[in-house]
Structure 1
Amino acid sequence: MLARSEDIPKLEAAVEACVEQLEKYPGVHDVTAGGRPGKWEYRLQIKEDAKAMGVSLAELSSTVRASYYGEEAMRLQRGRHEVQLRVRYPREQRESLADFDEIRIRDNEGTERPLTELADIEIARSYSAIHRLDQMRSVTVAADVDEEVANAFVITADLKKTLMPKLAEEYPSLRVLWEGQEEQTNESMNSMLYGFIAVMIAMYLLFTIEFKSYLQPLLVLSIIPFGACGAIFGHVVMGLPFTLFSIYGLVALSGIVVNDSIVLIDFINRRVNDGLSLNDAIIDAGRRRCRPVLLTSLTTIGGMMPILLETSRQAQVLIPMATSLSFGLIFGTVLVLILAPVGFFIVAKTQNVFALEKTSHESSQVVPGLHE
């Protein structure tokens, strides 16, 4: 999560609230926030009396720097090399801050005054690094999630529902961007959505050419939502969260579950072309294609079983994908044996009704001059 705000104290408070909330979730560990404190430093705040004396903050800073780092007095030429000559405090005084308050600053009148008389000194820690995004200060809050205990998508959804509205209300200038696994998931989902739409259009065009019909391809593709329902039901039965790999399984399922519909509808078309009536062709397809359809699905499901039954940690990532494929294919196969013949019958009858209405309408028209 990337938080941005022009108000630094509010930004720090919002980041702290995010860190506290993340630490409450079980399975979340190594919660870190960007902008970690750096080294301790002395901060000088010039007094009003020093300004009246003509002493500026730049003069104070340059004097303190010269005391420890040194000020270049001259350069000496030694052979081909040029050596800088710097004037600074002796080593024993530079190695300790005991005499820091006794550094002398010369004002406009030439009077040397101690540093504490001209400025307030504060010991604090600044950020080790300052990050900006769109010219605004930004802090990144990150955490690791133990997938065996918690789910990153569930935690992200809970943060968006509970914490983010409170932060938006308390800190109106706060802006939040989601990165890490959430950003990668969104990018993957968008790319898969566009790819899925393109594949569905390509499949429809291919089926249209094959079946020489605009309605039969829709009948073939209509089984995909039922397969998706079976995949969701499988996750509930297995007690698995719906992850990105589950979506991968659904996309793969869309190309597999239509095979059974293609087998049935293509066989019905062939039997009708051979001269059988519509009812006989559907009954014959159900009787003769039932076994191939079941065997095709069972072999695919059997191939997924080793992954579904695997208990190793490495296989836990692939189990949701195998669950989508297996349960979606089981659910889709059972329904396709019923819906595909019934849908074909309805589509054929509808087309016949419209064809008869068109024929009767044309035959009822009177041709001019016919009665003469």
Structure 2
Amino acid sequence: MQLRIKPAAETLGLTLQDLGRQVRQAFYGEEAQRIQRGRDDIRVMVRYPRDERRSLDALEKMRIRTANGSEVPFSQVALVESGRGFASIERVDRKRAVNVTASVDPAITSAGAVIADLRTRVLPEVLADYPELFYTFEGARAEQADAAGGLLRGFILALLMIFALLAVPLRSYLQPLIIMAAIPFGLVGAIWGHIIMDLDMTMMSMVGLVALTGVVVNDSLVMVDFIQRARNVHADLGREIRQAGGLQTDRREFESSGLQLAIREAGCNRLRPILLTSLTTFFGLAPLMLERSIQAAFLVPMAVSLAFGVLFATFITLLLVPVSYLILDDAQRALRRMSESRAATVLPGVLENAPLTLDGGKSAATQVVEASS
């Protein structure tokens, strides 16, 4: 039942709160005292007799006390309307809250699609009509958001740990970036795998993406390690040949010249191991991806992320790593030439403007000329 107050009640000083309180006291009761009996408290409630609380007619005959202490019939100050009411009233931060729950049929749509439609179409229309209304997604959606935040922190931590573990043995801050450049392509491959297998991105898919970051760098690491070793061998061999001819050379001169040859050798010698490693991983996860039982459905998205991510990143690695290595070498040589040319332009200016005298009374410029001759 819903109570509504009449305009006549306002002239008597009655409010809807007063009306509701008196009706509650009459039919539900008001606690008068508590009696202690052993370990239990017995509440003494004061209310209408049972016979006067069984029908709606008793409510119509009820008398309401006004602010000045007088009593008036209920029918003069209020109206009773039958309708649907709340079994319980919930509040969040002292504001009334209503929970709306639903079950999604996976054969028709997904929970993500329903929530996206609510955000873009339904809820904006409701907020336009009721500006004071606010909403939050709770339940499984809130738990999924919390889990996604934890996975994101774990993903960032995994990237930092991988970078540190690669930078220490390689003694470089740039080569680990070349190795880790395959990670974004692995993530793209995992997304395409879900599209090919007609699967939705789930929380286990995210777990597979985090695990993929540690697996997809293996092929790049094998390629970079072989290129670095072959480059060092060609540099040492070229220096020994020049020294055998009586020419003093710097080892860095042959590192760049032998890089392209080292990349060719790495592509030929590491192609089979890289392909076999990735294909065995993919086909090892294939039975789990193709399983259609209910027990395995929980792990299928994670297997799809790993399998397709590794497979897609492998073919990208065979092209990306050599090209990135050449770009890095070109950039380092350009910086080296700039620093050497800058040093060469500083020396003549110093000698020209300030001809310093060294031991023996000879100027620095004279010493340089004699040394070069």
In which range does the TM-score fall when normalised by the shorter chain?
Answer: 0.7 to 0.9
Post-superposition CA distance 1:279-338 (Å, at most 9, x none):
232222222222221222122112211111101123233222222211111111111112
In structure 2, how many angstroms separate the alpha carbons of the residues matched to 1:86 and 1:170?
A: 44
1:370 partnered with 2:368: no
The structure with more strand, counted as a fraction of residues: 1
Distance 1:307 1:108, change over 3 A: closer
Q: Contact 1:71–1:86 (CA<8 Å) still a contact in 2?
A: yes
Query: Residues 105-137 of structure 1, C-alpha deviation per residue, up to 9 Å, x if partnerless?
Result: 799999997654565444455422112223222
Q: Distance in 1 between matches of 2:20 and 2:338?
A: 99
For 1:187 and 1:136, how far apart are their aligned partners in 2?
A: 24
Please show how residues 203-214 of structure 1 align to structure 2 within 5 Å.
203-214=162-173
Q: For residue 182 of structure 2, what is the amino acid of its counterpart?
A: I
2:287 is aligned with 1:306: yes
TM-score between the two structures when normalised by the length of structure 1: 0.72
How far is the alpha carbon of 1:219 from its aligned partner?
0.7
Match of 2:359 in 1: none
Q: 1:274 & 1:71 partners in 2: Cα distance?
A: 94
2:14 and 2:340 mapped to 1: Cα distance?
105
Q: Is the 8 A contact 1:250 1:325 kept in 2?
A: yes
In the aligned structure 1, how far is the partner of 2:342 from the partner of 2:192?
49
Matches within 5 A, 1:138-153: 138-153=97-112
1:181 maps to what in 2?
140
Is 2:215 the partner of 1:256? Answer: yes
Task: For residue 187 of structure 1, report the CA deviation from its aligned partner.
Answer: 2.0
Instruction: Give the Cα–Cα distance (whole angstroms) in 1 for the partners of residues 282 and 134 of structure 2.
Output: 47
Q: Which moved more, 1:220-229 or 1:175-184?
A: 175-184
Q: Superposition pairs for residues 77-226 of structure 1, below 5 Å?
A: 89=49, 95=54, 101-102=60-61, 115-116=74-75, 119-226=78-185
Which residue type is aligned with residue 320 of structure 2?
Answer: L
Query: Are 2:209 and 1:247 aligned?
Result: no
Contact 2:202–2:301 (CA under 8 A) maintained in structure 1: yes
Matched, 1:287 2:268: yes
Q: Which has the higher contact order (CA 8 A, sep 6+)?
A: 1
| Alpha-carbon shift at residue 85 of structure 1 (Å) | 11
Q: Between Structure 1 and Structure 2, how many residues are aligned?
A: 322
Q: Corresponding residue for 1:48?
A: 8
Counterparts of 1:12-27 in structure 2 under 5 Å? none
Q: Secondary structure at the match of 1:274?
A: helix
Query: What residue number does 1:12 align with?
Result: none
Closer, same or farther: CA 56–320 of 1 in aligned 2, 3 Å: closer
Higher mean C-alpha displacement, 97-106 vs 268-277: 97-106
Secondary structure of residue in 2 paired with 1:137? strand
Bigger Rg, structure 1 or 2: 2
1:340 — aligned with what?
321
Indicate the SS of the match to 2:135.
Answer: strand
Of 150-159 and 225-234, more deviation after overlay is shown by 225-234
Bigger drift between 112-121 and 161-170 goes to 112-121
Distance 1:43 1:201, change over 3 A: same
**For the structure 1 residues 143 and 273, does the alpha-carbon distance in structure 2 shift closer, same or farther, using more than 3 Å as the test?**
same
Question: Mean alpha-carbon deviation: is it higher for 96-105 or for 320-329?
Answer: 96-105
What is the CA-CA distance between 1:162 and the residue it aligns to?
A: 1.1
Residues 108 and 165 of structure 1, relative CA distance in 2, 3 Å threshold: closer
- The alpha carbon displacement at 1:157 in A equals 0.7
AA aligned opposite 1:290:
L
Partner secondary structure for residue 132 of structure 1: strand
Q: Aligned match of 1:236 in 180, 195, 211?
A: 195
Which of the pair is proportionally richer in helix?
2
Partner amino acid, structure 2, of 1:286: G
What does residue 186 of structure 2 align with?
227
Query: 1-side partners of 2:335 and 2:306: how far apart?
Result: 39
The amino acid that maps onto 1:144 is S
Q: Answer yes or no: is the 8 Å Cα contact 1:47–1:120 preserved in 2.
A: no
> Does the 8 A contact of 2:163 with 2:176 survive in 1?
yes
Residue 301 of structure 2 corresponds to 320
Residue 190 (structure 1) shift: 2.3
**Contact 2:206-2:302 at 8 Å conserved across structures:** yes
Determine if the alignment matches structure 1 residue 352 to structure 2 residue 312.
no
* 8 Å Cα contact 1:153-1:182 kept in structure 2: no
Among the aligned pairs, what percent are the same residue? Answer: 37
Residue ranges of structure 2 left out of the alignment (5+ in a row): 36-41, 236-257, 356-362, 367-373
Cα pair distance change 1:71/1:50, threshold 3 Å = farther
Aligned-partner SS, 1:354: helix
Alpha carbons of structure 1 residues 101 and 216: separation in structure 2 relative to 1, 3 Å: closer
Please say which of residues 350-359 and 113-122 is displaced more in the overlay.
113-122
Checking the alignment, whether the CA contact within 8 Å between 2:25 and 2:47 is kept in structure 1 is no
Counterpart of 1:317, as a letter, is F
